[in-house]
Structure 1
Amino acid sequence: MTPLGLVGGVLQPLLILAGSPFLLGLMRQIRARLEGRQGAGVGQPWRDLRKLLRKQRIAPRGTTEVFRMAPVLLVATTLVVAFVAPFVTIASAVPPVADLFAVVALLALGAVAVALAGLDTGTAFGGMGASRETTILALVEPTLLVAIFALSVRVGSTNLPAIVEATLQDPTQVISPASLLAAVALMIVIVAETGRLPVDNPSTHLELTMVHEAMVLEYAGPDLALIELGSVMRLSVFLGLLANLFVPLGIATELSVLAILGGVVAFALKVTVLGAALATTEVFLAKLRLFRVPELLAGSFLLALLAAGASYFLA
């Protein structure tokens, strides 16, 4: 653990925790404007969280600790990733945990916890949403692993800070076939992992189409606040990984106030731009039929495999 990594480990979770609801508010505001509506404002997600935190915690009869611990696990695993990943600083607070396989496992753990909570309620909607979520996870997680692994081949390490540092030293690698294919695969992964269009519609509660909402229908009060906060934090983490793995410009490489401030601003700006682009794209997309989603995710896995192959043969 280096001083630079320790500073990043303190700043990054705080930045993601405080800024993620504003990112969601910005995305909703962009969609509202493009759809001809006024919108509720960028700060509305924080107001919703504050309202939920003031309400009474209610759990359905018959649920177990799985239901009660899922929101905590979702937020906790995301915070751990925010603590170790190279977002603001290139050094990690805990380098062994900043490995590709460890980070993907932590992100998957949070999603699996919510899926198990949906099953724990014993409701038809909860089981339906959990079934759909696990199907998506089974296709998305291998794609995430292979896509980032394609970037690690040229580095000789699956350590995320090492991959970011290699890209920072040689920015021309970003336009290589392996990087471009991996970037497209990761974009599709982010859409699927965070429940955005065309895989899932985060702004609807239609029984036949919802995935994430079906698993969390039984949550209320502070538990629902943790679910909502954890979901938007995951979105910020995925966008931050996409930004820094391919465009790590501005990330702090030395321990100085100016470098740290530049890293914070660069990270916030890149995530905001990616979030705005995602929200803008969603306005022009329709949700895919459920049985077409595996085709999209299988296509992203093929892109990730091509990226891995290109990283070996075109290196």
Structure 2
Amino acid sequence: MTVYGVVSQLLEIVVALALAPLLTGWVNQWRAWFQNKSAPTLLQPYRVLHKLFHKESVVAEHATPLFRSAPYIVFGCMALASSIIPTLSTDLPLSKAADAIALVGLFALARVFISLAAMDIGTSFGTLGARREMLIGFLAEPALLMVLFSASLISKSTSLTTMVQTLAQRELAIYPALAFAGVAFTMVSLAENARVPVDNPATHLELTMIHEALILEYSGRHLALIEWAASLKLFAYSCIGLALFFPWGVADAQAPLALLLALPVLIGKLAIGGIALALLETFNAKMRIFRVPEFLATAFLLAVIGLLVHILLST
């Protein structure tokens, strides 16, 4: 473990915690503009977090310690997931302890705890949201694994840093396997982050909401941690997509100057990705909840086709 590695690791964590709410505000702003609405400011997510952290947390009388600890566990999982994804540098001490499979496991761990906490109170909305969340996770996580395996076959490693180094150093070309994996990853990312067409983060209708149903009983600092964790999850998935399909600009080990240049490159790529996400949500309507399994099954099928295409072209 070098000093450069420690600095790059700490910088990645600070950047993730600081930029995640900004990315959410950026997407919300462009989504409002595309819909000809008055857009909130970029700093609105920070203001919401500041307000929630200064409010008292109201907890149900029969809530167990699981309900109180779930926001901290979910936030910790999302922060750790964001820290092992090579967004600024490939010299990350934490990346050696977690590969692509462990990354998916962190997402699954957060989902399990937020679902259990939603059912802990015993409300109908919480149980409904937990069932829908577990259904989406059951279908989305295998598709995400297949996407990551498509990149791991190219790099011959499940390490995220090795994937980025291998893909960034390869010559610029269109790889059919990554093309299929890219479409599948986009579909999975929309589902995992409760975005249109799978879910609408701005709705509170009991027949359609998924993510909002899980957090109806939270308030104060608990709700702030969950909202911050949701922004971190969007940031993490965006960085996964950039690392797999647009890995250029990430600094190599022992390259301090490249690390300084990697931050504006990352911000630029996230800005373009946020606009694309807002545009995609604007031109799509929310599908019925019963169509979500077909949507995610298609993503899984595309990811598997990407794997098969790579195997066939390699032989």
Q: Does the alignment reach a TM-score above 0.5?
A: yes
Q: Secondary structure at the match of 1:238?
A: helix
Distance in 2 between residues matched to 1:7 and 1:149, nearest whole Å: 29
1:66 aligns with 2:75: no
Q: By how many angstroms is 1:296 displaced?
A: 0.4
Distance in 1 between residues matched to 2:109 and 2:8, nearest whole Å: 23
Q: Mean alpha-carbon deviation: is it higher for 148-157 or for 185-194?
A: 148-157
Q: By how many angstroms is 1:256 displaced?
A: 4.1
Q: By how many angstroms is 1:254 displaced?
A: 4.0
Q: Which amino acid aligns with 2:181?
A: A
Distance in 2 between residues matched to 1:208 and 1:171, nearest whole Å: 48
Task: Give the aligned CA root-mean-square deviation in angstroms.
Answer: 1.3
Query: In structure 2, what is the equivalent of residue 146 of structure 1?
Result: 146
Distance in 2 between residues matched to 1:95 and 1:231, nearest whole Å: 22
Distance in 1 between residues matched to 2:313 and 2:176, nearest whole Å: 8
Query: In structure 1, what is the equivalent of residue 259 of structure 2?
Result: 260
Q: Secondary structure at the match of 1:94?
A: helix
1:203 aligns with 2:198: no
Q: Mean alpha-carbon deviation: is it higher for 116-125 or for 266-275?
A: 266-275
Is the alpha carbon distance of 1:275 and 1:97 closer, same or farther for their aligned partners in structure 2, counting shifts above 3 Å?
Answer: farther
1:86 and 1:161 in contact (8 A); partners too: yes
Q: By how many angstroms is 1:267 displaced?
A: 1.6
1:85 and 1:98 in contact (8 A); partners too: no
1:74 and 1:113 in contact (8 A); partners too: yes
Q: Deviations over 1:281-302 (max 9, x none)?
A: 1111110000001000000000
Aligned pairs for 1:1-315 within 5 A? 1-172=1-172, 175-315=174-314
Is the alpha carbon distance of 1:171 and 1:187 closer, same or farther for their aligned partners in structure 2, counting shifts above 3 Å?
Answer: farther
Q: Deviations over 1:17-60 (max 9, x none)?
A: 11111111111111111222222211111001100000001111
> Structure 1: any 5+ residue segments left out of the alignment?
none
Distance in 2 between residues matched to 1:249 and 1:155, nearest whole Å: 15
Q: Secondary structure at the match of 1:154?
A: helix
Distance in 2 between residues matched to 1:292 and 1:142, nearest whole Å: 18
2:155 and 2:167 in contact (8 A); partners too: no
Q: Which amino acid aligns with 2:147?
A: A
Residue correspondences, number: 314
Q: Which amino acid aligns with 2:101?
A: F
1:98 and 1:161 in contact (8 A); partners too: no
2:176 and 2:309 in contact (8 A); partners too: yes
| TM-score normalised by length of structure 2 | 0.96
Q: By how many angstroms is 1:266 displaced?
A: 1.5
Distance in 2 between residues matched to 1:27 and 1:169, nearest whole Å: 31
> % of aligned pairs identical?
39
Is the alpha carbon distance of 1:199 and 1:171 closer, same or farther for their aligned partners in structure 2, counting shifts above 3 Å?
Answer: farther
Q: Deviations over 1:213-260 (max 9, x none)?
A: 001000000000000000011000100010011111111114344211
Distance in 1 between residues matched to 2:97 and 2:197, nearest whole Å: 32
Distance in 1 between residues matched to 2:275 and 2:103, nearest whole Å: 25
> Structure 2: any 5+ residue segments left out of the alignment?
none
| TM-score normalised by length of structure 1 | 0.96
1:21 and 1:46 in contact (8 A); partners too: yes
